[in-house]
A and B are shown apart, each in its own frame.
Chain A
Amino acid sequence: MVIVGAGQGGLQLAESLRSEGWTGPIRLFGEEPYAPYNRPPLSKAVLCGDQSADHLTIRGPDFFAKKAIELSTGTRVTAIDRAAREVVLADGGRVAYEGLALATGSRARTLPLPGADLDGIMVLRTLDDAEALCRRMAEARAIAVVGGGFIGLEVAASARKFDREVTLIEALPRLMARAVSPAISDWYADLHTRRGVRLLLSTGVTGFAGVDGRVTGVETSAGPIAADLVIVGVGVIPDDALARACGLDCDRGVIVDDFSRTSDPTIVALGDCTARRLPDGTLRRLESVQNAVEQAKSGAARLMGKERPFTATPWFWSDQYDVKLQMAGLSAGADTSVTLGSPEEARFSLLHWRDGRFVGCDSINRPADHMAARKLLDRGTDLTAAEAADPAFDLAARARAG
């Protein structure tokens, strides 16, 4: 079995192959020079200096030996020869496979704007990015963050911890617009403003200014913003180049189904590099730990000739300052919401309905609500907004009761 991509998903697939009973060889190829590590802390604890890089490694060296997983770091796979069932490595070597898993992840999107190649304009995706950013942040005086999604906001929060001047520029009228409901966006806009971030919403970036090759500012629709460090967090691009080149069906991501199957029965794909075809025909792209892990488990089962569909409710989280945001379900387009708890005390959840169906829950510092909502969503509950709006409503009890 060959796995291309040694992130959290690729590693999970290797482990799941072993727990599914595969006893043959497993080759795990990673382009980065590191063993698989946890990416989520890169924009949080690592950037704040609270967590050192060696704490990120998911499995120690003994583990790979014990599980007979042959990990090759710093190794790029350059092509897939589906006819021969071989992958081609950068050094020209070829490795045969019986089953192949693509876990190639995603790349940070960059902005094709004037001045985008100036020194001091950075993205955050890898451990190397995070370490470089840490060093720059220590020296920077004024930091501009382009993009008000999870990465941009987490970076802004970390930068404020260093007491740096931070301006965050977001093109849309609200923060995290793709992931959370408008009320949560507004609550976070207020939080960041109170913590000293200058927020520019509905503001487009038109270019970057520089002197002697180094960035000095961001040109925006609201005028120039001075900055000696710019972090661009405007989403990711699924890394589906290998899959496209060998003719697998792709549409901004390798197209898979609930079983992580691609259009080639010997190849599965998982995680950020995929776009999952749902039963209703639409494509869903999720960049999350849960998505990578669950698709990996399904993919491993599939390679062993078993069926393990990934149908669980999507969930995500984001840590900004001392606030934990957890999202269960997909609440886009919700038409009815009920608030539990107290937004003033920074402990509340918003439950969401669309066309009368309970579809999601955004929780702020209320992890128990998040877990309860996930249970209810997984079960396809008939919970109504009227029921939840009753002052005596107890979400945890409802989740236990079914």
Chain B
Amino acid sequence: MVKVVFIEPAGAEVEIDAAEGWSLMQVATSQGVEGIDAECGGSCACATCHCYIEGEAAEAVPPPSESELAMLDHVVAERRPNSRLSCQIKAEPMIDGLILRVAETQS
């Protein structure tokens, strides 16, 4: 299991033990984390699972692919250097402890 913490737009922290191999979007939506729309179901086609990654573990997250970078240009909330689409990050041991601040708006 990999520990990740989502901070919902309203400020509530949700700590989840995620099964390895799942995308963090799937982890969040299956647990009902607020604020992640994920309309396309994880195919990097809608930019509605936007989060800001924080904490030490953020350094260990593999960088975004070219297609994720292109989609990040079109997130509705402010794009910051630590903006990511949570459907493109997999739960794996090296990101244990990652904090994901859910963007305040998705669409």
A residues with a Cβ closer than 8 A to B are 38, 40-41, 44, 55-60, 62-63, 66-67, 289-290, 293, 317, 319, 324, 326, 365-368, 370-372, 375, 396
Contact = CB atoms under 8 A, between A and B. Distances in A.
Contacts of B71: 367-368, 371
Contact of A63 (B32, B40, B43): B32
Interface in B31-71: 31-32, 37, 39-45, 47, 67, 70-71
B83 interface: no
A30 B73 CA distance: 37
A361 to B, nearest CB: 13
Given A60-B31, A66-B32, A324-B67, A372 B74 contact: yes
Given A40-B40, A40-B41, A324-B45, A59 B70 contact: no
A375 B44 CA distance: 17
Nearest to A368: B70
Interface residues of B, number: 20
Contacts of A290: 39
Contact of A326 (B22, B26, B29, B45): B45
Contacts of A59: 29-30, 32
Nearest to A316: B45
Contact of A371 (B31, B32, B37, B47): B47
12 contacts: A40-B41, A58-B29, A59-B30, A59-B32, A66-B32, A290-B39, A293-B37, A317-B40, A324-B67, A367-B71, A368-B71, A371-B47
Contacts of A67: 32
A317 B67 contact: no
A183 to B, nearest CB: 21
B30 A38 contact: no
Contacts of A62: 31-32
Contacts of A326: 45
A166 B47 CA distance: 34
B43 A317 contact: yes
Nearest to A374: B74
Nearest to A67: B32
Nearest to A8: B41
Nearest to B70: A368
Contacts of B29: 58-59
